[in-house]
Amino acid sequence: MFSDFKTQVEKMTGGKILVELDERIERDAQSDIVFSPFRQAKKYLAIVVFNPLDKGNTLRELARWKISSFGYPCILRWGDHEESCGDKRALEEGLASILQDARIGEKILYAMNFEKPKEPPKVIEKK
């Protein structure tokens, strides 16, 4: 299912954008202030995009994806929107909704417009 979404985005952007699932660590104000070896870092799965020309591979998070232990339902969250997807068709619709959000479009466009670093001008030696 996710591979279809990846392929669709990559075709839509002419290969300028790649899509991956990335395990991330939840950041909050307390975790930034207090470090405790006993505190478990909260992890989550995110749908991210990046431009393969960006050698720093800046990952831009589009949405969070929470999968139940049974596969469905899964939950997609982006911005202030949340969709619970109870089956494959609902998941397809949820992924399509992500791409229809203007804020997501801005993130993709920003990543697409990353310019490859220009090569320094060649110096021509005089003889």
Report domain extents, the chain: 2-112
Whether the per-residue pLDDT at 112 is higher than 60: the answer is: yes
pLDDT at site 84: 94
pLDDT at site 3: 86
Whether the per-residue pLDDT at 120 is higher than 80: the answer is: no
pLDDT at site 38: 65
pLDDT at site 34: 59
pTM: 0.75
Q: How wide is the angle at C-alpha 19 spanned by C-alphas 41 and 3, nearest 5°?
A: 105
pLDDT band at 32 (very low <50, low <70, confident <90, very high): low
Burial of 7 (0-12, 13-18, 19+ CB in 10 A): exposed
